[in-house]
Structure formats: C-alpha cells, structure tokens
Amino acid sequence: MSSITLVRPGIERVVDQAPDARERPLFPPAVSAALGWTAAALAVFAVERGAHGALKSLGAGGIALIEISLIVAAGAVYAWAVRGAAASFVVATGLAWLTLSIVADVVMGSESVDVGYRLLGDPTVVPEVLRDLIIVSWLAAPALFARGGAVTERREDFGRHS
C-alpha cells in the first residue's frame, strides 16, 4: 500500500507501509524479547525434564530436534509480537537470547552437575552437530521471521518536465 503526498514543489514524499505491519508492537520490544526468551527457555527446560521421564524413548537426537523446533517457534511468536519494530533490534535480540541461555547454563551448572546444560544441550549426551544447531537456533530464531519496520519513508526528487 503506497501513497504519494506533495511536500513542496519539486519534491514528493513517498510512504510505503507493509500491509500487515502495526503502527507499534504489542509490547515494548525489550519486554517482548524477555518474554520470548523466558517462554522458549521454560519449554526447553520442560523437554529436558521430560527426557528423563516420558520422552526418554526419543533419545538425545530426538530431544534436541524438539528443543530446536520449540526455540524456532518461540522466535516466530516473538517476531509476530514485535512487527513494526526496527529490524536491527530484532536481530540483536538473537544475540541477547543466546547470551541469556549461556548465562543461565553457567549459573545452573555451577549449582549442580545434574541440572547443568539445560538450554544448550549436554555436550556428553547430545551429538555435536545438534548441539551446534541448538546454539544457532537461540541466535537466529528471533530474526528468522522478522519483517522490516512498519513504515519506510523515502524522499525522491521527481524532475518536472516542461
């Protein structure tokens, strides 16, 4: 959806708006980022807990794939919630999610050997490739479904023909 408005003689203002973008996000972007990471971390932690019980038959590879899909799903919901936010913020959110996951694993790992490596995968159990994919999914999930900001404005000088 585009509109052209005359600003002053010789210069026209063009405003392009994505058809499904909001004027502003549902929540402030930082709150959405924290809520998205918390939801993803709780889901991954629940799967890790289930890996010792009901999900034990799936094996380490199956558990890792479920965790990756949960992280990506949380990233999709996050990207939907912050439609209209600056794309650079959404990309930076992936770095924040990875950092928070590393910090959470370090803090949990320092408490007890049994509860360490919940968010990034246990290096002694999870295959290295899948563990790397878990780490990359924390980094990339918020940006996978990101769209540009709500309004992109550009000014163009349209020459007048006499």
Are 48 and 108 members of one domain?
yes
pLDDT of residue 3: 46
Do residues 96 and 34 make contact, with C-beta atoms less than 8 angstroms apart? no
Q: How many domains does the chain have?
A: 2
51 and 122, same domain (yes or no): yes
Q: CA–CA separation, 130 vs 87, rounded Å? A: 28
pLDDT for 111: 63
Do 10 and 30 reside in the same domain of the chain?
Answer: no
Same domain, 2 and 62: no
Question: In terms of domains, do 61 and 131 share one?
Answer: yes
Please report the pLDDT score of residue 161 as a whole number: 59
Instruction: Verify that 70 and 6 share a domain, yes or no.
Output: no
Q: Are 131 and 97 in the same domain?
A: yes
The answer to whether residues 159 and 82 belong to one domain is no
Write down the mean pLDDT value for the chain.
Answer: 76
Domain match, 102 and 154 both: no
pLDDT of residue 107: 83
Does 135 share its domain with 156?
A: no
pLDDT of amino acid 2:
44
**3-class secondary-structure state, position 42:** helix
Domain span including residue 129 = 26-146
For 33, the token pair is 């980022």
**Is 81:95 a contact under the CB 8 Å cutoff?**
no
- Do 121 and 69 have their domain in common? yes
pTM of the model: 0.72
> Quick one: pLDDT at residue 52?
76
Q: What is the pLDDT of residues 68-127, one digit of tens each?
A: 999 999 999 988 888 777 778 888 899 999 999 999 888 877 666 555 567 888 777 788
pLDDT, one tens digit per residue, over 27-83 is 777 888 999 999 999 999 888 888 778 877 888 888 889 999 999 999 999 888 887
**Domain identity same for 156 and 86:** no
Task: Check whether 155 has a pLDDT greater than 60.
Answer: no
Q: Using one digit for the tens of pLDDT, what is the confidence trace for 9-31?
A: 555 554 444 455 555 666 777 88
